[in-house]
Amino acid sequence: MISRHILKTDHLLILALILATLLTGCSHMHTSKTPWQQVGTASWYGKDFHGKPTASGEIYNMYGYSAAHKKLPLGTLVRVTNLDNHRKIVVPINDRGPFVGRRIIDMSYGAARHLGMIKEGLAKVRIEVIQTPSNKASGYTLQFGAYTERQNAVTMADKLTSIGYTPSIEEAFVRGKKFHRVRLGTFPSLKKAQQFAGHFNDNKLEYRIIGL
């Protein structure tokens, strides 16, 4: 009788251990890293910025699919969901903004049209990060415009030269179109670039800090 009781107890103990292992395993399998999310108001921007360089250096195409965010790394892919009609779109972050009120993202006209928010102008959305850039910037530079006409780039470079700087003019192709970028300096960190950029705050010269 004692041996049978011991066997029965051992059997129950083994079953309990198996059950605990299974529960622990199931719990582990269902844990997953929650993607970064943000909920708030989205707006859109259009023709006033069409054809102008974005913070990434890419030329803004209002009819394309892109967006501006204040803090997410440039090149980040996000899924934006219009919480009013549940339409969704995946876009790259290639610009900075919006800087109005508490808006959290500025959609291109094309992306806003896809989300069905053109008429209202604003929409409550959820942003989810799908993919972040794999490579961090190896350095930074100041860009004083990207021009389709080389002469315009030369004119800007001459302005910088006249006040004692030595800029460069670099050719780049964006979506098959040729641009001439006027750039100045190479800096190991964003902070260094920002400190140097302070020299131009009183010269009425527009610039952007670009990651290399």
pLDDT single digits (tens) 151-194: 999 999 999 999 989 999 988 876 567 889 999 999 888 788 88
pLDDT at residue 4, as a whole number: 47
**For strand 105-108 and strand 37-45, is the pairing parallel, antiparallel, or unpaired?**
parallel
Distance CA 14, CA 18 (A): 6
pLDDT at residue 5, as a whole number: 45
pLDDT at residue 136, as a whole number: 59
Which amino acid makes up residue 109? Y
pLDDT at residue 137, as a whole number: 63
Q: Decide which of 3.40.50.2000, 2.40.40.10, 1.10.490.10, 3.40.30.10 is the CATH code for 37-131.
A: 2.40.40.10
The reply to whether 140-211 shares the fold of 37-131 is no
Distance CA 116, CA 21 (A): 49
Least confident of 16-20, 66-70, 98-102, 146-150: 16-20
Burial (CB count within 10 angstroms: exposed 0-12, middle 13-18, buried 19+), residue 16: exposed
Least confident of 101-115, 130-144, 159-173: 130-144
Q: Is residue 20 scored above 60 in pLDDT?
A: no
Least confident of 68-77, 94-103, 115-124, 187-196: 187-196
Rounded to 5 degrees, φ, ψ at 33 are -70, 120
pLDDT at residue 33, as a whole number: 53
Q: Is residue 23 scored above 70 in pLDDT?
A: no
Please state the rounded mean pLDDT for residues 50-60. 86
Domains in the chain: boundaries: 37-131, 140-211
pLDDT at residue 18, as a whole number: 43
pLDDT at residue 168, as a whole number: 93
pLDDT at residue 21, as a whole number: 39
pLDDT at residue 176, as a whole number: 67
Say if residues 42 and 122 touch (Cβ distance below 8 Å). Answer: yes
Query: pTM of the predicted model, to two decimals?
Result: 0.51
According to CATH, the topology of domain 140-211 is Alpha-Beta Plaits (3.30.70)
Say if residues 141 and 208 touch (Cβ distance below 8 Å). Answer: no
**CA neighbours closer than 13 Å in the CB half-sphere of residue 4:** 1
Say if residues 146 and 180 touch (Cβ distance below 8 Å). Answer: yes
